[in-house]
Structures are given as structure tokens and as C-alpha cells.
Amino acid sequence: MTEPRRATVLGATGSIGRSTLDILRRAEPRPRVAALTGMGNVAGLAAAAREFRAELAVTADPARYLELKAALAGTGTEVAAGPEAVVEAARRPADWTMAAIVGAAGLAPTLAAAEQGGVIALANKECLVSAGELFLAEIARAGATLLPVDSEHNAIFQALDRDNRAALDRILLTASGGPFRAWSRERMARATPEEAVAHPNWDMGAKISIDSATMFNKALEMIEAKHLFDVRPEQVEVVVHPQSVVHSMVGYADGSVIAQMGTPDMRHAIGFAWNWPARRALPVERLDFARLARLDFEAPDEGRFPALRLAREVMAAGGLAGAAFNGAKEAALEAFMARRIGFLDMAAAVEATLARLAPFAPAERLADVFALDAEARATAEALIASGEVGKGAVLA
């Protein structure tokens, strides 16, 4: 009998976090849970901490400390609150850490987890977009193992021919196209947060769902792929595939394309990362090709989805451009969710912010990344507040 592994889930109350707990719940031997973190959903966090007898439960919101403490009274689970406590939780010894906090807020905790040198199952793509080389350098320095959980990058990881690395020709990221795939630009201009959050295939957190509607999610994934697989920007292609069954593909010099497929269920990628390097049965539906009958592919429309063009510009610029891109995107997303700007204004705000902040220096220290992230948020916010961007707000 092998020793149970120690697992930590950062962002345990989110969409990826809950799917991760479902994989851990079924694992044999049952893992020990070092730490679980969340933010606003204190009841959900406390229930998970009780179920898994977590050693530590942390809410990122300091105002929720007493509530979490009361919810876990008498359980033996330690309780803490605040962003610093989340970083401390990530530092607790663990063999396997799921990094599933949403946004750049995940960067410091994920880095703290990496310092231990265990397995980092990475859902938080923003780490790679904002801090790319610095993040990978820290992973390498600590001897940690990075396993991509984003379904596309997990697919590429599975399809990579490691004995013929030099023959890798291109990476084909599939995109569902989101809920507005077939909408006109005029209709998109009037889209509400409720419409943008309703993803056709994947059940995800609100922010990544809206990022799928703008295709900012795919834009982040292009940058993520460039860093993870060390390819040139022009080797990263996007193909729209509405069924979300082909999770992504790798093309080789001889013209072969290797695809990884599965039903659209994040427990594929999470379970893969938990079981790696083994493959074990997972609680996911099997693909029924006869029922599927067909798979469709089409070129993305960069006119309606300018995020894809912006991602190419960010990859070409390199350095701190990724931190600015993600920071501006997060500020624009908040403004759209608050109905202060319209749907198409998100890309306009990001583009205008990048234009203001260019040229971008190389990222030498993490402090540079955090500073540019903050500067980009402030710049996007100023553009929105002054009305320079945001004439398309839908006031509901």
C-alpha cells in the first residue's frame, strides 16, 4: 500500500476546485488534504474542509475570517484569512497542488506552491500569461513538475511526441467559439453579462465564461501555449471547433496531426494530472462517435474577436506585455460585469491600454510583473472612467 499523497487545492470552491475535489474524493488511497482555499463562498469552503478533514482552510477575504472560524469550530481544521494567508497555505508541504484561483490573484500563491518542488496542476493560465519566463524559471529552480490542466494544453501535453521534439511544427488550439460564435458585431455590441456567461459546452466560472465569449480566453491560451511548449508565436494556431470534443492538436513536420479527444468535462484533465504518469479510470462520459456523427471546424473571425489579434501582438512584444494584457483584460471584464462598458469595449480597453503602456521592458523580477499588472488595471480603469472607452455600455 502506497502512502497517501498530500494534496492542496487553491481555489477549492470554484468550478475547477469542485471538480478537483470530486477526483480526490474517489482517489485510492484517499489523499490527505493539507490546505483548501476559497474566497466568498465560506459555507462551501467549510463543507469541503469538513469532508476532507483539511488541515487548513483559508478564505482570501479577511472580512470572512470569523464566519469561517465559526463554520469549522470543533473540527480541528486550522482557519486563516487574507491574501497573505492564501500564500502561506500554498507553502504548506504538499505533493500535489491544484492551482485554480481565477486571475492574476493566483500568481503569488501558485509560485509559493511551486517553491516546494512537488506537482503543480496548473489551471490558472494567468500565471503564465503575466509572468511567463519568470514563472517557468521558478518551477525549474525548485524542481517542481508543471502539469497543464487547461483542457487545450493538457491535450497538447498528451499529444506531444517527446522523442521528436524538433519535428513539432505547430500547435492547434481548438476553441468552441463561445456563445456568440455566430453573432454579428452589431448584436455582440448589445450583449449583456448574462448572455456572455452562458457557455454552450463547458460549465465554468463566470469570468472565464465571459472570456470565452470575447475569445480572450483563447488569447490567454495562445500566450500560455507559447510559454508552456516553448514555440514561436507563429506556431500557435487557433481553430474554431464548436463541439469541443477535439481538445487540441499537435502538427508535425511530416504533416501528421495528433489530436486528443474526450467529452467536454474538466475532470479529464484534472484526473490526468492527478494520476500522471499513470492513466486510471475517471468518472467521465465516454465518447460515442456514432452519436457525435460529425465534427466541425472553421477559421476564427479576428474582426469580431480582436482578442486573438491582440494576443499575437503580445506574443511578438514579449516581456511585460503579457502582464499588461492580462491586467487590462481583468479590469475591463470587471467593468463589463458591472455594466459600465459594453461587450466590445472590453477589447477596445485592452488595446488602448497596451498602446498607452508600450513599449514593454523584459520582465526581470516578479515585482515588475505585479507593478505592470497594477499599472495596466489603473490605465484601463482611467480610460473607462473618462469615457474614452465604453461608449457602448448596455444599461440594464
Distance between CA 124 and CA 117 in Å, rounded? Answer: 18
* Partner whose binding site includes residue 102, from Mg ion, ligand NAD, none (CB under 5 to 8 Å by kind): ligand NAD
In angstroms, how far is CA 261 from the centroid of its own chain?
A: 20
- What is the contact mask toward ligand NAD in residues 105 to 134, using x (rule: CB under 6 A)? x-----------------xxxx--------
Within residues 239-278, the interface with Mg ion by CB under 5 A covers none
Under DSSP, is residue 97 helix (H, G, I), strand (E, B) or coil?
strand
Q: Which is nearer to Mg ion, 150 or 373 (by Cβ)?
A: 150
- What is the contact mask toward Mg ion in residues 135 to 154, using x (rule: CB under 5 A)? ---------------xxx--
Distance between CA 245 and CA 253 in Å, rounded? Answer: 24
Provide the minimum distance between the beta carbon of 336 and ligand NAD in the complex, in angstroms, as a whole number: 15
Q: Which is nearer to ligand NAD, 153 or 304 (by Cβ)?
A: 153
Q: Which of 7, 21, 102, 259 binds ligand NAD (CB under 6 A)?
A: 102
Cell 493538457 belongs to: 154
Does residue 208 bind ligand NAD (CB under 6 A)? yes
Does residue 311 bind ligand NAD (CB under 6 A)? no
Does residue 224 bind Mg ion (CB under 5 A)? no
Q: Which residue is nearest to ligand NAD (CB)?
A: 14
* Partner whose binding site includes residue 105, from Mg ion, ligand NAD, none (CB under 5 to 8 Å by kind): ligand NAD
CA angle 240, 100, 83 (to 5 degrees): 135
Are 57 and 35 in contact by the 8 Å Cβ rule? The answer is yes
Distance between CA 171 and CA 167 in Å, rounded? Answer: 12
* End-to-end Cα distance, the chain: 59
Does residue 225 bind ligand NAD (CB under 6 A)? no
- Give the burial class of 162: count Cβ atoms within 10 A of its Cβ; 0-12 exposed, 13-18 middle, 19 or more buried: exposed
Q: Which is nearer to Mg ion, 152 or 330 (by Cβ)?
A: 152
Within residues 151-210, the interface with Mg ion by CB under 5 A covers 151-152
Does residue 17 bind ligand NAD (CB under 6 A)? yes
Does residue 38 bind ligand NAD (CB under 6 A)? yes
Provide the minimum distance between the beta carbon of 216 and Mg ion in the complex, in angstroms, as a whole number: 12
Are 259 and 243 in contact by the 8 Å Cβ rule? The answer is no
Does residue 266 bind ligand NAD (CB under 6 A)? yes
- Give the burial class of 359: count Cβ atoms within 10 A of its Cβ; 0-12 exposed, 13-18 middle, 19 or more buried: exposed
* Partner whose binding site includes residue 17, from ligand NAD, Mg ion, none (CB under 5 to 8 Å by kind): ligand NAD
Q: Which of 90, 204, 246, 270 binds ligand NAD (CB under 6 A)?
A: 204
Does residue 20 bind ligand NAD (CB under 6 A)? no
DSSP string, 196-255: HH--SS----HHHHHHHHHTHHHHHHHHHHHHHHT--GGGEEEEE-TT--EEEEEEETTS
Q: Which residues pair with 119 in a beta bridge?
A: 96, 145
Q: Which is nearer to ligand NAD, 61 or 368 (by Cβ)?
A: 61
Does residue 101 bind ligand NAD (CB under 6 A)? yes
Q: What is the sign of the dihedral through the CA atoms of 36, 37, 38 and 41? A: positive
- What is the contact mask toward ligand NAD in residues 149 to 168, using x (rule: CB under 6 A)? -xx-----------------
Cell 494567508 belongs to: 85
Does residue 211 bind Mg ion (CB under 5 A)? no
Distance between CA 112 and CA 128 in Å, rounded? Answer: 15
Residues whose CB is less than 8 angstroms from the CB of residue 253 and which lie 6 or more positions away in sequence, other chains included:
167, 168, 169
Does residue 147 bind ligand NAD (CB under 6 A)? no
Residues at the interface with ligand NAD (CB under 6 A): 11-17, 38-39, 60, 86, 100-102, 105, 123-126, 150-151, 202, 204-205, 207-208, 266
